[in-house]
Amino acid sequence: MVKLSGVYKGMRKGYGETLVELGKKYENLVVLDADLSGSTQTAMFAKEFPDRFFNAGVAEQNMIGMAAGLATTGKIVFASSFAMFASGRAWEIIRNLVAYPKLNVKVVATHAGITVGEDGASHQMCEDIAIMRAIPNMVVIAPTDYYHTKNVIRVIAEYKGPVYVRMPRRDTEIIYENEEEATFEIGKGKILVEGEDLTIIATGEEVPEALKAGEILKENGISAEIVEISTIKPIDEKIIKKANDFVVTVEDHSIIGGLGGAVAEVIASNGLNKKLLRIGINDVFGRSGKADELLKHYGLDGESIAKRIMEETSKF
């Protein structure tokens, strides 16, 4: 059973640790970075396996080109940078050199979403899910917490094909007790809390906030089902079809083209009679500020999510 632990730990730390573990398991695994290995935590792998780590410098497009070339020789390639640069600056290269030939490259981006904080709008990437899931052959994933991230990285190392993973900069609340509980399967969502009145579908660092919102709603007599969807593409259509008639999506991403857009597509394509409320970044750029303050400002903290839902439920 998942629960809010009050313990915070970085997903990117889990990423770095797991790369070292996988480096020992797979001799053909290589890691690339665009001069940000201290921040992305790929420095852990570089220290352990310096002959299998390549720093491309501040040249993200070149990094992806290198990754594609290495993949053609049978390597399992992980390439990392900040989400703004990994998905934005290198998008065309990812599309043409990685996704089109369906090469075995994992683009793992850190510093995604609004909680990049003081770096401001230029570095707060809230469009990456939308632009990456539009690419054919691309799997798009947003892990939930530290333990979950470790399992995500293990799974994608065994998956043959292009994958995009996004993680936040800040330490996030751990909701799983251990790695064994933090199971992950590509394309499968997970019901974390049973509920009868409405369904909250959350992804990434917003899953703990959705759990907080669920507790507040429960105190106000509203029973909320909480669903974790980590794989935004391919999305778990079955779990969405089984959701309650009032569905709320929560994401640290634009509501256009992200989790909310993906869920809306499933509802519309299948003619489902469900009301949908998308909670995320509402087609605006970010601003500088502390991560927690920004979550509150954009209505993405648990309290704000619960308040918004209660306002909507009062309408019908």
| CA 16 – CA 110 distance, rounded (Å) | 11
Note the pTM of the prediction, 2 decimals. Answer: 0.97
Q: What is the average per-residue pLDDT within 209-219?
A: 97
Q: Are residues 160 and 301 in the same domain?
A: no
Q: Which domain holds residue 259?
A: 189-311
Strand-strand pairing, 231-233 and 139-141:
antiparallel
Instruction: Output the pLDDT for position 16.
Output: 98
Burial annotation 257-269 (CB, 10 A radius, 16+ → b, else e): bbbbbbbbebbee
Instruction: Output the pLDDT for position 117.
Output: 85
Q: What is the average per-residue pLDDT within 137-166?
A: 98
Q: Are residues 162 and 19 in the same domain?
A: yes
Q: Are residues 144 and 290 in the same domain?
A: no
Q: Are residues 299 and 232 in the same domain?
A: yes
End residue of a domain, out of 173, 203, 230: 173
| CA 98 – CA 63 distance, rounded (Å) | 12
Q: Are residues 160 and 233 in the same domain?
A: no
For 182-236, where are the alpha helices, taking DSSP H only?
A: 206-219
End residue of a domain, out of 144, 173, 202: 173
Question: Using one digit for the tens of pLDDT, what is the confidence trace for 125-135?
Answer: 999 999 999 99
Q: What is the average per-residue pLDDT within 225-233?
A: 98
Beta strands in 39-169 (DSSP E): 53-55, 76-82, 105-110, 139-141, 163-166
Q: Considering the domain boundaries, does residue 143 fall inside one?
A: yes
Q: What is the average per-residue pLDDT within 18-47?
A: 98
Instruction: Output the pLDDT for position 313.
Output: 83
Question: Using one digit for the tens of pLDDT, what is the confidence trace for 165-212?
Answer: 999 999 999 999 999 999 999 999 999 999 999 999 999 999 999 999
CATH number, domain with residue 64: 3.40.50.970
Average pLDDT, the chain: 97
Q: Considering the domain boundaries, does residue 3 fall inside one?
A: no
Q: Are residues 137 and 199 in the same domain?
A: no
Q: Considering the domain boundaries, does residue 96 fall inside one?
A: yes
Question: Does position 224 have pLDDT exceeding 60, yes or no?
Answer: yes
Let me know the angle formed at the C-alpha of 279 by 88 and 39, rounded to the nearest 5 degrees. 40
Q: Considering the domain boundaries, does residue 108 fall inside one?
A: yes
Q: Considering the domain boundaries, does residue 119 fall inside one?
A: yes
Q: Are residues 119 and 240 in the same domain?
A: no
| CA 253 – CA 256 distance, rounded (Å) | 8
Q: What is the average per-residue pLDDT within 152-174?
A: 97
Q: Considering the domain boundaries, does residue 178 fall inside one?
A: no
Phi and psi of 78, rounded to 5°?
A: -110, 125
Residue 166's alpha-carbon distances to 6, 24, 50, 142, 224, in angstroms, are 23, 24, 25, 5, 26
Question: Does position 314 have pLDDT exceeding 80, yes or no?
Answer: no
Pair of tokens at residue 53: 């780590």
Instruction: Output the pLDDT for position 118.
Output: 87
60 tagged catalytic: yes
CATH number, domain with residue 233: 3.40.50.920
Question: Using one digit for the tens of pLDDT, what is the confidence trace for 80-109?
Answer: 999 999 999 999 999 999 999 999 999 999
HEC sequence for 23-37: HHHCCCEEEEECCCH
Q: What is the average per-residue pLDDT within 146-166?
A: 98
Question: Does position 316 have pLDDT exceeding 90, yes or no?
Answer: no
Q: Are residues 148 and 228 in the same domain?
A: no
Instruction: Output the pLDDT for position 76.
Output: 98
Q: Are residues 159 and 198 in the same domain?
A: no
End residue of a domain, out of 141, 173, 205: 173
Instruction: Output the pLDDT for position 315.
Output: 61
Q: Are 246 and 309 in contact (CB under 8 A)?
A: no
Catalytic residue among 17, 21, 48, 60: 60
Q: Are residues 244 and 306 in the same domain?
A: yes
Q: Considering the domain boundaries, does residue 21 fall inside one?
A: yes
Number of domains the chain contains: 2
Question: Using one digit for the tens of pLDDT, what is the confidence trace for 243-301?
Answer: 999 999 999 999 999 999 999 999 999 999 999 999 999 999 999 999 999 999 999 99
Burial annotation 104-138 (CB, 10 A radius, 16+ → b, else e): bbbbbbbbbbbbbbeeeeebbbbbbbbbbbebeeb
Q: Are residues 110 and 241 in the same domain?
A: no
Residue whose structure tokens are 């794989």: 231
Q: Are residues 75 and 202 in the same domain?
A: no
Phi-psi region of 117 (alpha: psi -120 to 50; beta: other; left: phi over 0): left
Q: Considering the domain boundaries, does residue 316 fall inside one?
A: no
